[in-house]
Structure 1
Amino acid sequence: MAEPIRAGRPAHGATRRRTLLRTALAIGAGGALAACRSGDDGEDASPFTGERRTGDHVLAVKVDNVAAARPQTGLQHADIVYTEEVEAGLSRILAVFASDVPATVGPVRSARESDIELLRQFDHPALAFSGVQGKLLPTLEAAPLRLLPPGELSDGYERDPARRAPHNLYLKARRAERAADDASAPRDIGFRFGAAPKGGRSTAGETVSYPAARFDFTWSQERRRWLVTMDGTPARSRGDGRLAPATVVIQHVTVRQSRFHDRSGSNTPFTETVGSGDALVLRDGKAYEAHWSRPSASGGTTFTEAESGRRLPFARGQVWIALVKKG
């Protein structure tokens, strides 16, 4: 389904001033959040990965995930990778970068209403996307986001002539991060990192199914990572090899119809990430039954052990979160 590149309107001067003021106040009041204590050893670490490198700004990128878009570029460098359902039961990716911003990310596709709620927990992040439905644009512009569509960052995108549109638009991610110098720094969004808890069940892998898409996560003892397969094909990042996160979270959420449809008339699903529900956390070759809770959009998401209620630590490294409809 081809989508036009629709540039977001540049923010008015007053909006930009409010954005800068809000960011400055957030940094002044809570600068310690940029390097929260995420590990079990008390050392400062990234709130997104539990590793030492944190980064200066949060950059989220909407990434295509149909067969024609694969292999994608830059996903191996993301701190967090979210997967979500879109029109016709297909899936799309929202990749969050901070600690390791690569030169290129893509293919870039359009934003969705669900992105606004999901990204609110990051405070005021930058969002790179190819376009958006006209009816959604005012809502997106009013959100606490530093919008970076092609019209706002004309020298930050390029087309790959070897691929066909609309699966050939790529973000110059480092250029985008420099342009988004008013985007918020990484802060605590609820993740905790540390040694594996007791219990859990050993598993060779788990599957996440959307109506017209599938992800398989297979444990590699050799790599100590979960190897990703998309629709039956090993998932790779161009130039970086197999996609392999340290932690995978299968988060069961409410998915309902939104106010919007695509050109073919298919409804755009809205994925609710505020609330609570069940989750399955995969780490170190085991699956842990968990509970997730996010009481408000401005707050983070906590993951606790289903039986004990204790915070469930993730393995240090890249985190994938598959947002799937409650059963």
Structure 2
Amino acid sequence: MGLGTGHGAPTRRTVLTAGLAAAVTASLTAGCTRHGPAGDDGRAPQSSTPTPSLRQATGSVLAVKIDNVAAARPQTGLDAADVVYAEQVEGGLSRLMAVYATRLPEVIGPVRSARESDLELLRQFDRPTLAFSGAQKKLLPLIRRAPLRPESPAEASGAYYRGSGRPAPHNLYLRPAKLVDGAPGRAALTTGFRYGPAPAGGTATAARTVRYPAARFTFTWSAGRNRWLVSMDGTPARTTAGSRLAPATVVVQHVRVTKSTYHDVLGNYTPFTETVGTGKAEVLRDGRSYEATWSRPEATDGTTFTGTDGSPVNFADGQVWVVFAKA
């Protein structure tokens, strides 16, 4: 299934780099020039002199990169996110990006490293705060130039801690109250999503599975909870508090996935997930699946979803999961 944009990987990287460079402004603070450990080697956060304040004014979303291998589960604070994005990373595994706007939990994690695809995805928000454990060293300059507020343990050591009971690197947690001045509110969610009554039609759907080479997500409809129950790699997904992860809306967004120029220490190249363009999607809500077309013309735009009749596809109120599937 192809996308309407038809851009290759070199073109996308060139466009992304140029767009990020153009977005640089004098508002980038001096504290955004250092980052945490380059990659996921599990070392303790590097110490640094903290800035006078780790907090910011409200108005921007908090995006947190969250570990999603078996050793990292159950996660903490994931159920409080407004939107959860699932993407493929090295080795065919998955990683999550949780976006918070309407409420902040006390703790979020485990926190892991950023990827090139995250920078394009986050352009839809107004200078979001990105919480992450570090990044591949060649990617760090691009992160520094991005129109966001990067906050790894190096910039905000007091906001992170290593939890007990799990080995590194699966034990790094964030206290968001030490990083931001509370939840900015629903208006900060400039995703392009529309919420409202269910569209007409659709297909009754009991469950939907999305597979990556070394990971899978299954969403099973629960009429009793009026939610989609999440399972990961065949295991019911819960938080550390015991709550089952259960979004109101699930989007399977078919995207172009190419090979980026970055790789991990084993030489596995990072997939680059293209979220600008257009393509097919499935929107799951209220126990039904709706065919849709997604569109995001520019990186600074949100993503719209249109049904086969040309009308916008409304999402149900509540948490949204967007799973990027290879087209």
Alignment of 1:121-132 (within 5 A): 121-132=124-135
Per-residue CA deviation, residues 99-123 of structure 1 (Å, 9 max, x unaligned), is 0100000000000000000000012
1:196 alignment counterpart: 198
Distance 1:294 1:7, change over 3 A: farther
- State the shift of 1:161 in Å: 1.6
8 Å contact from structure 1 (residues 8, 149) kept in 2 = no
What corresponds to 1:272 in structure 2? 274
Residue among 295, 298, 301 paired with 2:300: 298
The alignment status of 1:114 with 2:117, answered yes or no, reads yes
Per mean C-alpha deviation after superposition, the further-off stretch among 232-241 and 207-216 is 232-241
Letter of the aligned partner of 2:246 in structure 1?
A
Residues 256 and 156 of structure 1: CA distance in aligned 2, closer, same or farther (over 3 Å): same
Partner of 1:27: none
RMSD over aligned Cα atoms: 2.4
Q: CA–CA distance in 1 between the matches of 2:247 and 2:125?
A: 21
Alignment of 1:110-259 (within 5 A): 110-178=113-181, 186-259=188-261
2:65 to 62, 65, 72: 62
Q: Distance in 2 between matches of 1:134 and 1:5?
A: 17
SS for the counterpart of 2:122 is helix
Q: Separation in 1 of the partners of 2:285 and 2:206?
A: 11
Equivalent in the alignment of 2:3: none
Q: State the shift of 1:2 in Å.
A: 3.1
How much has 1:4 moved relative to structure 2? 4.6
Q: Distance in 1 between matches of 2:84 and 2:264?
A: 24
CA distance in 2, matches of 1:263, 1:6: 18
Structure 1 contact 61–127 (Cα < 8 Å) conserved: yes
Say if 1:4 and 1:131, in contact at 8 Å, map to a contact too. Answer: no
CA contact (8 A) 1:8 1:131 kept: no
SS state at 1:140 partner:
helix
- Structure 2: how far apart are the matches of 1:203 and 1:279? 15
Name the aligned partner's letter for residue 309 of structure 2.
S
Query: Is residue 120 of structure 2 the alignment partner of residue 81 of structure 1?
Result: no
- Unaligned runs of 5+ residues in structure 2 are 1-39
Runs of 4 or more consecutive aligned structure 1 residues displaced over 2 Å after TM superposition: 1-10, 178-181
What is the CA-CA distance between 1:189 and the residue it aligns to? Answer: 2.2
Any gaps of 5 or more consecutive residues in structure 1? 13-19, 24-54
| Residue in 1 that maps onto 2:323 | 322
Q: TM-score, normalised by structure 1?
A: 0.82
* Letter aligned with residue 115 of structure 1: D
Whole-angstrom distance in 2 between the partners of 1:8 and 1:309: 53
2:12 paired residue number:
none
Q: CA deviation at 1:180?
A: 10
Range with bigger deviation, 241-250 or 185-194 = 185-194
Deviation digits for residues 21-71 of structure 1, max 9, x if unmatched?
A: xx9xxxxxxxxxxxxxxxxxxxxxxxxxxxxxxx84300000000000000
Q: Distance in 2 between matches of 1:5 and 1:252?
A: 37
CA displacement, residues 219-245 of structure 1 (integer Å, 9 cap, x when unaligned): 000000000000010000111510000
- 1:6–1:168 Cα change, 3 Å: closer
Amino acid across the alignment from 1:170: Y
- Counterpart code for 1:237: T
CA 1:312 to 1:289, structure 2 compared with 1: closer, same or farther past 3 Å? same
- The answer to whether the Cα contact below 8 Å between 1:207 and 1:216 also exists between their aligned partners in 2 is yes
SS in 1 for 2:144: helix
**Is residue 120–residue 297 contact of structure 1 (8 Å, CA) maintained in 2?**
yes
Cα contact 1:6–1:132 (8 A) shared by 2: no
2:206 and 2:182 mapped to 1: Cα distance? Answer: 43
Q: Distance in 2 between matches of 1:74 and 1:62?
A: 12
Deviation at 1:324, TM superposition (A): 1.1
SS at match of 2:136: coil
Q: 1:108 & 1:75 partners in 2: Cα distance?
A: 11
Number of matched pairs: 283
Helix, strand or coil: the match of 1:178? coil
Find the aligned partners of 2:143 and 2:163 in 1 and give their Cα distance.
Answer: 27
Could you say if the C-alpha distance between residues 3 and 137 of structure 1 is closer, same or farther in structure 2, counting changes exceeding 3 Å? farther
Cα deviation digits, residues 113-151 of structure 1 (max 9, x gap): 000000000121000000111100000010011111001
Distance 1:184 1:177 in 2: 16
- Any conservation in 1 of the 2:63–2:129 contact (CA below 8 Å)? yes
- Between the aligned residues of both structures, percent identity stands at 58
Residue number in structure 2 paired with 1:51: none
